[in-house]
């Protein structure tokens, strides 16, 4: 008798669970009333509502139908995809941090000056560089990427690159060089960068690649 009652209770809970609005199969025709029922039941959290919204927007852009899945399954699938994306993002950030650490142990670089030279329609932005070889090997070439931030922390001037292949940099030595970049007086980024005082700028420098004289490469 007790066993029969337990079976009846479990059956009742199973029926109630299956009748949850979250377990209903999604169809576009009943979406509005389904959402209202989920909200009324208290089963739909703000996080779940946001995940459903992302799923529906994604379905529109990808053309992949969500019909045939329950609302619960849709939410769980979005959670799974976003968790996988988060793992990939963290792995990429770790890889970038490791790369930065390796390169910064071998060399440091900074922009030491900024000026504008030449005449109208034929002018150049000139940046001075200082690159120090912190390794115990001669550097044959080094590739840099940099940009600038103003006092508000806003990026101005876009991204610049510099590939220094001569002269080589001996261990412990610092190379000072100047590089010329075309200045376009009709380009807003160039005008903004030129108008800023160099001492008011913060340089964001990234060493992308180092080639040593022994043929080894860091990148």
Q: Across the 219 residues of the chain, what is the mean pLDDT of every consecutive 10-residue run?
A: 45 46 87 86 86 87 87 91 91 85 94 93 93 97 95 91 93 95 92 94 95 94
Q: What is the pLDDT of residue 106?
A: 96
Give the pLDDT score at 57.
87
Total Cβ atoms within 10 A of residue 90: 10
Contacts of 118 (CB under 8 A, 6+ apart): 124, 183
Sheet with 155-164: strands ordered across: 155-164, 139-149, 202-212, 217-218
Query: Looking at residue 39, what is its pLDDT?
Result: 84
Same domain, 160 and 83: no
Same domain, 120 and 188: yes
pTM value > 0.75: no
Q: Of the candidates 68, 101, 134, which is a domain's last residue? A: 101
Task: Determine which helix (DSSP H) or strand (DSSP E) holds 92, and give its type and residue range.
Answer: helix 71-106
Query: How many angstroms separate the Cα of 186 from the Cα of each of 93, 154, 189, 190?
Result: 36, 20, 9, 8
Residue-number span of the structural domain to which 174 is assigned? 106-218
Shared-domain flag, residues 93 and 171: no
Statement to judge: residues 91 and 179 lie in one domain? no
Q: Is residue 82 part of a domain?
A: yes
C-beta of residue 67 within 8 angstroms of C-beta of residue 27: yes
> Is residue 162 assigned to a domain?
yes
Residues 148, 86 share a domain: no
Residues 6+ apart with CB under 8 A from 140: 165, 168, 211, 212, 213
- What is the reported pLDDT for 3? 57
Decide which of 101, 120, 153 is a domain's last residue: 101
Same domain, 138 and 46: no
Looking at the 3D structure of the chain, how many domains does it have?
2
Residue 8 lies in a domain: no
Structural domain contains residue 161: yes
Does residue 210 share a domain with residue 183?
yes
Helices and strands (H, E) in the chain, number of each type: 5, 7
Residue 216: the pLDDT is: 95
> Of 82, 101, 120, which residue is a domain's last?
101
Task: Examine residue 14 and state whether it is found in any structural domain, yes or no.
Answer: no
Predicted local distance difference test score (pLDDT) of residue 14? 40
CATH of the domain at 170: 2.60.40.1620
**18 in a structural domain:** no
- Measured CA to CA, the distance from residue 33 to residue 88 in angstroms comes to 37
112 and 195, same domain (yes or no): yes
Q: Write the CB contacts of 105 (distance below 8 Å, at least 6 apart in sequence).
A: 134, 135
- The residues pairing with 131 across neighbouring beta strands, listed in sequence order, are 109, 175
Residue 10 resides in a domain? no
Same domain, 140 and 118: yes
8 Å CB contact between 37 and 21: yes
73 and 153 co-located in one domain: no
């Amino acid at each position: 008798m007790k066993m029969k009652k337990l079976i009846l209770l479990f059956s009742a809970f199973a029926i109630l669970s299956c009748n949850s609005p979250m377990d209903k199969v999604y169809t576009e025709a009943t979406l509005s009333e389904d959402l209202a029922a989920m909200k009324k039941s208290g089963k739909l959290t703000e996080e779940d509502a946001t995940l459903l919204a992302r799923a529906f927007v994604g379905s529109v852009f990808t053309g992949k139908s969500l019909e045939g899945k329950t609302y619960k399954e849709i939410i769980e699938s979005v959670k799974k995809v976003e968790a996988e994306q988060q793992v990939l993002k963290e792995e990429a950030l770790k890889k970038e941090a490791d790369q930065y650490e390796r390169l910064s142990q071998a060399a440091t670089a900074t922009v030491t000056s900024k000026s504008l030279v030449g005449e109208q329609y034929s002018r150049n932005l000139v940046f001075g560089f200082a690159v120090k070889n912190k390794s115990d090997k001669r550097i044959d070439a080094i590739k840099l990427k940099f940009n600038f931030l103003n006092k508000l922390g806003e990026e101005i001037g876009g991204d610049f690159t510099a590939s220094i292949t001569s002269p080589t940099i001996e261990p412990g030595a610092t190379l000072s060089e100047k590089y010329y970049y075309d200045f376009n007086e009709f380009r807003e980024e160039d005008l903004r960068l030129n108008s800023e005082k160099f001492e008011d700028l913060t340089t964001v420098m990234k060493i992308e690649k180092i080639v040593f004289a022994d043929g080894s490469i860091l990148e």
